[in-house]
């Protein structure tokens, strides 16, 4: 009798699988036209009814991804892991966790994607491992073990604060020293100063590329180079710990390590290897260096400026975000990387709440605002990332109790806050319901069935009750749906080089409701205008009157805007794209 893992994936409904577009790739820099779709496997599709998404569940929906039109699938970690941080604590870099399937399943997924002209990018977590990785087990076994210096050990800890609350150093009884972990105690930091560590990582990366993987998204890759003096930082008021990020982000050898990685892993390969580095705290000048093609480090970085704007003292201290601030942050990166480098474009991912709830309107204007967010994002210059479910307009779930959450970051922060006198726990819970990483991790809503088409069992994280109306089955093929709008955006990128190559000019930067900009090449221009409010808004754009005759190439509503540019009138959460030639 076959095991649940070996049976064929469930057959998707015809409505979700075809007809399918055919992606195309052109030229040495053709990768700049690609659209990336992020899959958080635990929440994508469950094939065996255990409530957790898996590789065979993904395989069953490859046709859906192809119909959407994406070029690249980025897979969050599926490596063997104790799952302290849902797979970002890796105990075997070349093994697949049985929770997700087998290496043969991954090989099949790669083959299915390649057969449709799509590529697979793996998440790569090499700033740290799990404390259950054989390297760390050896390292902590004795002070004279050959792998002792593969990690950071000290007699006296610094006062750095962990990104998951508490100290970054934990005492190890066996050898009588502290080890460094910027994140969980079960995620000890690798010592990239040791050349043996680097060579082991490079060998592992080559192994995956030789197996058919097409690139890597590199988790917190700007933390691999530390200030080796490990100085103390300024503690937070009332705490013995403080942020030490200035001593372990974009460190003194970061560029050297990435250049070496390029030489030893990526150089000389027949096809382009897509590389993106997640870099909390990276600045524009630093990002230019990391992504300058002439330097051979990375294709692009994930920066955090725009998703930190509504954070006060921490992510759960939620503050208002005026639209001009968001526009300015995005424009800064457009202009900063205009001549050299490349942007990654995202509003949501597995570490962020749902974008339509955060930046849009998840109430009566959910569909319109989801389309408008996508239009604005995809028409910026850079590589757009579609996070699973955003193409359906999925919204935050109604979490009300701490037992609703599963995220280690949220749970540890709440536990620490509960121990402090005077904490307003109901207010903290409300903030967590808005900003927790769990909001981006609720299961994908495939249909209106009790398990949302995600699982026949009990889901690991509660399914949003709105799945009865917000789901893929209801949207695929419906011209007015969020899904079909995403398809049109992706097609526009593929067909019009202005989307990829055009310069960027922000208009009405101080307007509180209108987000408008022009993309321009030598022979054509695109005008993007969007209303980020629930009201009808009129605005006069600083453009010539000839724009009134421009062609409408994309709209978020079923008809064209009521008044053409330059004197616009846009309905609630309406957006549109106009095109004209420059001959």
Strand 274-278 with 215-218, pairing: parallel
Who's near 380: CB < 8 A, 6+ residues apart?
A: 330, 334, 343, 345, 504, 517
- The pLDDT score that the predictor gives to residue 16 is 56
- The pLDDT score that the predictor gives to residue 11 is 43
With CA atoms as reference, report the closest residue to 54 among 1, 130, 3, 15. Answer: 3
Distances (CA, A) of 238 to 182, 241, 242: 21, 9, 10
Burial group, residue 8, by CB count within 10 angstroms (0-12, 13-18, 19+): exposed
pLDDT tens for each residue of 246-272: 999 999 999 999 999 999 999 999 999
Who's near 102: CB < 8 A, 6+ residues apart?
A: 5, 55, 96
φ, ψ dihedrals at 560, nearest 5°: -70, 160
Q: Is the pLDDT of residue 93 over 70?
A: yes
Q: Are 284 and 333 in contact (CB under 8 A)?
A: yes
pLDDT band at 421 (very low <50, low <70, confident <90, very high): confident
Looking up tokens 């920066």 gives: 303
- Paired residues of 568 in beta bridges: 539
| Percentage above 70 pLDDT, the chain | 95
Q: Which helix (H) or strand (E) holds 501?
A: helix 497-501
User: What are 216's two structure tokens?
Assistant: 């890597």
Burial group, residue 19, by CB count within 10 angstroms (0-12, 13-18, 19+): exposed
Name the fold adopted by 134-180.
Oligo-1,6-glucosidase; domain 2 (3.90.400)
Buried b (16+ CB within 10 A) or exposed e, 472-507: bbbbbeeeebbbbbbbbbbebbbebebbbbbebbbb
User: What are 360's two structure tokens?
Assistant: 């849009």
Burial group, residue 525, by CB count within 10 angstroms (0-12, 13-18, 19+): buried
pLDDT tens for each residue of 546-576: 999 999 999 999 999 988 899 999 999 999 9
- The pLDDT score that the predictor gives to residue 6 is 34
pLDDT tens for each residue of 502-534: 999 999 999 999 999 999 999 999 999 999 999
CATH number for the domain whose boundaries are 14-130+195-402+443-493? 3.20.20.80
Of the CA atoms within 13 Å of residue 184, those in its CB half-sphere come to 21
Q: Is the pLDDT of residue 14 over 50?
A: no
Q: Is the pLDDT of residue 334 over 70?
A: yes
Compute the residue count for the chain.
583
- Paired residues of 74 in beta bridges: 38, 121
Ordered by start, the domain boundaries in the chain are 14-130+195-402+443-493, 134-180, 502-581
The rounded mean pLDDT for the chain is 94
Catalytic-labelled residue, pool 105, 131, 161, 278? 278
Q: Are 414 and 428 in contact (CB under 8 A)?
A: yes
Q: Cα separation of 216 and 76, whole Å? A: 10
Q: Are 411 and 405 in contact (CB under 8 A)?
A: yes
Q: Cα separation of 243 and 282, whole Å? A: 15
What is the widest separation between alpha-carbon atoms in the chain?
76
Q: Is the pLDDT of residue 3 over 80?
A: no
Which of residues 19 and 275 earns the better pLDDT score?
A: 275
Q: Cα separation of 374 and 355, whole Å? A: 10
Q: Cα separation of 405 and 414, whole Å? A: 10
- The pLDDT score that the predictor gives to residue 8 is 38
With CA atoms as reference, report the closest residue to 351 among 417, 440, 288, 266. Answer: 440
Total Cβ atoms within 10 A of residue 91: 21
Q: Cα separation of 170 and 186, whole Å? A: 10
DSSP assigned state of 402:
G
Which stretch of 17-26, 54-63, 169-178 has the lowest confidence by average pLDDT?
17-26
* Domain 502-581, second-level architecture: Sandwich (2.60)
Q: Which helix (H) or strand (E) holds 580?
A: strand 575-581
Report helix, strand or coil for 292: coil
- The pLDDT score that the predictor gives to residue 583 is 77
Strand 72-75 with 503-507, pairing: unpaired
pTM more than 0.85: yes
Distances (CA, A) of 213 to 201, 208, 317: 15, 6, 39
Q: Are 304 and 312 in contact (CB under 8 A)?
A: no
Catalytic-labelled residue, pool 84, 219, 351, 438? 219
Q: Cα separation of 540 and 538, whole Å? A: 7
Is 219 annotated as catalytic?
A: yes
pLDDT tens for each residue of 451-497: 999 999 999 999 999 999 999 999 999 999 999 999 999 999 999 99
DSSP 323-337: HHHHHHHHHHHHHHT
pLDDT band at 349 (very low <50, low <70, confident <90, very high): very high
CA 399 to chain centre: 22
With CA atoms as reference, report the closest residue to 188 among 128, 259, 274. Answer: 128
Strand 36-39 with 72-75, pairing: parallel
Q: Which helix (H) or strand (E) holds 416?
A: helix 408-419
- The pLDDT score that the predictor gives to residue 391 is 98
């Amino acid at each position: 009798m076959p095991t649940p893992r070996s049976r064929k994936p469930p057959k998707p409904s015809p409505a979700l699988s075809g007809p399918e577009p055919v992606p195309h790739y052109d030229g040495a820099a053709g990768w700049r036209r690609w659209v990336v779709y992020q899959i958080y496997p635990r929440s994508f599709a469950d094939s065996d009814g255990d409530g957790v998404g898996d590789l065979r569940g993904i395989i069953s929906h490859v046709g859906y991804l192809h119909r959407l039109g994406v070029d690249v699938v980025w897979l969050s970690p599926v490596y063997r892991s104790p799952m302290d941080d849902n797979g970002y604590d890796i105990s075997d870099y070349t093994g697949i966790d049985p929770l997700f399937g087998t290496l043969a399943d991954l090989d099949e997924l790669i083959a299915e994607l390649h057969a449709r002209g799509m590529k697979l990018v793996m998440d790569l977590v090499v700033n740290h491992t799990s404390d259950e990785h054989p390297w760390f087990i050896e390292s902590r076994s004795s002070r004279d073990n050959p792998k002792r210096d593969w990690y950071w050990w000290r007699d006296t800890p610094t006062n750095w604060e962990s990104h998951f609350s508490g100290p970054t150093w934990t005492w190890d009884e066996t050898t009588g020293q502290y080890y460094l972990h910027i994140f969980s105690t079960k995620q000890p930091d690798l010592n990239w100063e040791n050349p043996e560590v680097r060579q082991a990582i490079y060998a592992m990366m080559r192994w995956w590329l030789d197996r058919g993987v097409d690139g890597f998204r590199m988790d917190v890759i700007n933390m691999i180079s530390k200030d080796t003096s490990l100085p103390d930082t300024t503690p937070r008021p009332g705490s013995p710990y403080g942020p030490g990020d200035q001593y372990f982000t974009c460190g003194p050898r970061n560029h050297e390590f990435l250049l070496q990685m390029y030489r030893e892993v990526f150089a000389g390969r027949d096809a382009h290897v897509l590389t993106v580095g997640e870099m909390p705290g990276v600045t524009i000048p630093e990002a230019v260096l990391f992504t300058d093609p002439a330097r051979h480090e990375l294709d692009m970085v994930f920066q955090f400026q725009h998703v930190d704007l509504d954070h006060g003292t921490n992510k759960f201290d939620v503050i208002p975000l005026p639209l001009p601030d968001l526009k300015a942050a995005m424009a800064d990166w457009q202009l900063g990387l205009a001549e050299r480098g490349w942007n990654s474009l995202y509003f949501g991912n597995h570490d962020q709440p749902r974008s339509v709830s955060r930046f849009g309107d998840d109430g009566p204007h959910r569909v319109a605002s989801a389309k408008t967010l996508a239009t604005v994002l995809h028409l910026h210059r850079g590589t757009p990332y579609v996070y699973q479910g955003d193409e359906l307009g999925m919204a935050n779930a109604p979490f009300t109790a701490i037992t609703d959450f599963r995220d280690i970051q949220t749970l540890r922060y709440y536990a620490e806050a509960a121990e402090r006198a005077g904490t307003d726990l109901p207010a903290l819970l409300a903030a967590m319901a808005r900003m927790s990483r769990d909001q981006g991790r609720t299961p994908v809503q495939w249909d209106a069935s009790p398990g949302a088409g995600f699982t026949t069992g009990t889901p690991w994280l509660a399914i949003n009750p709105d799945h009865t109306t917000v789901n893929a089955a209801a949207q695929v093929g419906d011209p007015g749906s969020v899904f079909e709008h995403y398809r049109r955006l992706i097609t526009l990128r593929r067909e019009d080089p202005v989307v990829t190559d055009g310069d960027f000019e922000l208009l009405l930067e101080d307007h509180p409701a209108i987000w408008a900009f022009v993309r321009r090449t030598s022979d054509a221009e695109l005008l993007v205008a969007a209303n980020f409010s629930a009201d009808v808004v009129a605005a006069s754009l600083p453009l010539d009157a000839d724009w009134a005759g421009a062609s409408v190439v994309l709209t978020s509503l079923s008809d064209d805007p009521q008044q053409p540019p330059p004197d616009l009138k846009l309905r609630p959460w309406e957006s549109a794209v106009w095109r004209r030639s420059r001959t």
